[in-house]
Amino acid sequence: MKENETKLTLKDLFPNAEMGLGNIGFLFGAGTSYTAGYPLTWELTKNVLAKLDQNKTLLLKQILNKESLELASENGSPDIEIISDILNKHKNIGGIKGIDSLISDIKTGIIEILTSIEKVNYDYHIQFFHALKKKLANSKSDIWIFTTNYDLVFETAASMAGVPVFNGFEGINLRYFDIRNLKLQRGTVSNSKFEAIPEPTIKIVKLHGSISWEKSEGLVQEKFTGIEKDNSCLILPQRTKVIDTLDSPYDSLFRLANEILGNECEYLVSCGFSYRDQHINDHLIIPKLRSGKINLFALSKETNAEIRTLSEFNAFKYGTEDSLKIGSIELQEGTELWDFKKLVDLISK
């Protein structure tokens, strides 16, 4: 254990750990996919910017200049979250020719980069699901995973671990989205009586979409080959309050998340998530913290302004590389659990 590091237990993260880990969920960001070999936000930004042609790069520089920001493509600065926020702001204002095409090229760049990862390391994600399956043996509990990640690491790893997954899609070769699929239960019927299978089920809610989603003739479909990038169904990271303008399927995904948090999911742990998506904070996190309906423990490498703001709520605890806040007590001691590998090791013990 490192100097000035506090040894957190599973009970610190989930206060109900000794009662069976019911009503739990996770909020995962880019840091969890980094463990599998995917780029962090600044790396993704750098690679996406490198794919833009000269005219699109010039247009992006002009838009950023309006916000007194300079583009440093070689450093991935400003990162994709800030760029996306600014682009969406100016798209809504209107009057900038070519901005829709620029946004489309950035989406395409994200898909191309994330689908080009040749060696994905699923080991820790598989271990994560094996550990949950073991701890929740003979339990009919749902485990909710809320994520802004576009990749398919969690879906793939859960299947490799033999843990059932629902992500809102149904079908074989071509899958279609129906929000009701996220409320399904697996079970058997005997003498007209339904009996749920006694094993945990993973429910994955992808708040920003996925590289496998596309929209065709108004339908949201999931495909794993032959994806039409021009029809990609993902939204760029946004910090602004855009929840009221979200189109399908994101409107129904946010409504479902709002329904689940504080009811079927009372204990939430986040990892690799920065809380910079203000619309997620304002519409999903803060109202639940204010009413005391969720108990949230945030694991992040750094303590940013957003985490500081959320820490004003007693139901919000956090652990970073150099500080901890549990209840009203803040310690100048850190934890390694912001590293997904360390979190998985803890759950596995």
* 32/125 Cα distance (integer angstroms): 9
Sheet holding 169-170, edge to edge: 169-170, 175-177, 219-222, 209-216, 232-234
pLDDT of residue 136: 87
Q: How is residue 285 written in tokens? A: 């996190």
**Count of Cβ atoms closer than 10 Å to residue 176 Cβ:** 14
pLDDT of residue 229: 67
In sequence order, the 6+-apart residues with CB closer than 8 A to the CB of 201 are 141, 142, 143, 163, 164, 165, 166, 185, 186
**Count of Cβ atoms closer than 10 Å to residue 193 Cβ:** 8
pLDDT of residue 239: 63
Q: Facing residues of 176 across strands?
A: 170, 221
* 180/157 Cα distance (integer angstroms): 23
* 5/323 Cα distance (integer angstroms): 9
What pTM does this model have? 0.92
Phi then psi for 186, rounded to 5 degrees?
A: -90, 135
pLDDT of residue 92: 83
List, run by run, the mean pLDDT of 10-residue segments along the chain (349 residues).
Answer: 70 88 93 94 93 95 94 90 89 88 92 91 96 87 93 95 93 90 88 85 94 88 77 76 67 94 96 90 94 96 93 94 85 91 94
pLDDT of residue 227: 67
Structure letter (DSSP) for residue 208: T
Domain layout of the chain by residue ranges: 10-38+121-348, 41-114
Cβ-count burial of 13 within 10 angstroms (0-12 exposed, 13-18 middle, 19+ buried)?
A: buried
Q: Closest Cα partner for 269 from 21, 8, 24, 6?
A: 24
Amino acid at the residue 155: E
Q: Which CATH class is domain 10-38+121-348?
A: alpha beta
